[in-house]
């Protein structure tokens, strides 16, 4: 149980274009989903917290107009990187906290490798 | 501010050589401590949650323990497939998790 998927698993795009990454909870519902960014040999950096039906909460220093997050249902959240630049190249990982969970456990997707050329 | 510090940053062991990873935390009111395993190029995999000092949990060759200031992840007779980065995290605020920097564990055959 508690499986989270991400699509695509990797993507290459040209500078200036936009890329959408999907995060789905497959066998549970999630009121809250999280988006992280990870650089090589570094830990996870939380970008934003996404709540179903409401605006995402972004961490300090994360540009909300560049990283658009939509959480339209209890099983789907999307991250759109707008006007991507090479410095946006990174490993993006989502996670979800089950709706009926009484704990803070998060279950992670497999990640999406974004390369901007 | 809540902080999580893991040590060592990297650990290289021979197959069968037992050891421990450390996670020190400073939080106001612990609401759980989480251990994850992350393989290269993949998302973290949930391992354990610990809630109170003295609590222990086991899974195969891994055992996690918790005190009031730190948690240990003991690995007994490790195998090469145990090689990964191990992350610990604590809740912060209403929903977020604060992660340590991780320990990169390498088990040589």
Q: Are A75 and A30 in contact (CB under 8 A)?
A: yes
A89, β-bridge pairs: none
Cα A9 from Cα A26, distance rounded (Å): 16
Q: What is the pLDDT of residues A18-51, one digit of tens each?
A: 999 999 999 999 989 999 999 988 889 999 999 8
A8 touches chain B (CB under 8 A): no
Residue A78: C-alpha distances to residues A27, A47, A51, A91 (Å): 18, 13, 12, 15
Nearest CA in chain A to B84: A41
Among the partner-chain residues B42, B46, B96, the one whose CB lies closest to the CB of A105 is B46
* Contact list, B97 vs chain A (CB under 8 Å): 34, 46, 104, 106
Q: Are A50 and B95 in contact (CB under 8 A)?
A: no
pLDDT at A65 over 90: yes
* Contact list, A97 vs chain B (CB under 8 Å): 95
pLDDT at A100 over 80: no
pLDDT at B1 over 80: no
B40 touches chain A (CB under 8 A): no
Q: Which of B48, B39, B42, B41 is nearest to B88 (CA)?
A: B48
Identify whether A15 is preceded by a cis peptide bond (ω within 30 of 0). no
pLDDT cut 90: percent of chain B above it: 85
- Under DSSP, is residue A107 helix (H, G, I), strand (E, B) or coil? strand
Q: What is the mean pLDDT of residues A47-73?
A: 92
Nearest CA in chain B to A34: B96
pLDDT at A110 over 80: yes
């Amino acid at each position: 149980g508690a499986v989270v998927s991400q699509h695509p698993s990797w993507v290459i795009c040209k500078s200036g274009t936009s890329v959408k990454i999907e995060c789905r909870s497959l066998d549970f519902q999630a009121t809250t989903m999280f988006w992280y960014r990870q650089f090589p040999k570094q830990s996870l950096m939380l970008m934003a917290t996404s709540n179903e039906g409401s605006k995402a909460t972004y961490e300090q220093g994360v540009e909300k107009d560049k990283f658009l997050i939509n959480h339209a249902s209890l099983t789907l959240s999307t991250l759109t990187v707008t006007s991507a630049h090479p410095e946006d190249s990174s490993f993006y990982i989502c996670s979800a906290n089950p709706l009926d969970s009484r704990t803070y456990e998060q279950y992670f997707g497999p990640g999406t490798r974004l390369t901007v050329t | 501010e809540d902080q999580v510090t893991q040590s060592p940053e990297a650990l290289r062991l021979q197959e069968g050589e037992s050891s421990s990873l450390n996670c020190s935390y400073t939080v106001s009111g612990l609401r759980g401590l989480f251990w994850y395993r992350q393989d290269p190029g993949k998302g973290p995999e949930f391992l354990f949650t610990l809630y109170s000092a003295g609590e222990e949990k086991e899974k195969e060759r891994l055992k996690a323990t918790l005190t009031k200031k730190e948690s240990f992840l003991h690995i007994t007779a490790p195998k090469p497939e145990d090689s990964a980065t191990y992350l610990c995290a604590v809740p912060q605020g209403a929903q977020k998790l604060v992660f340590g920097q991780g320990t990169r564990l390498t088990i040589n055959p």
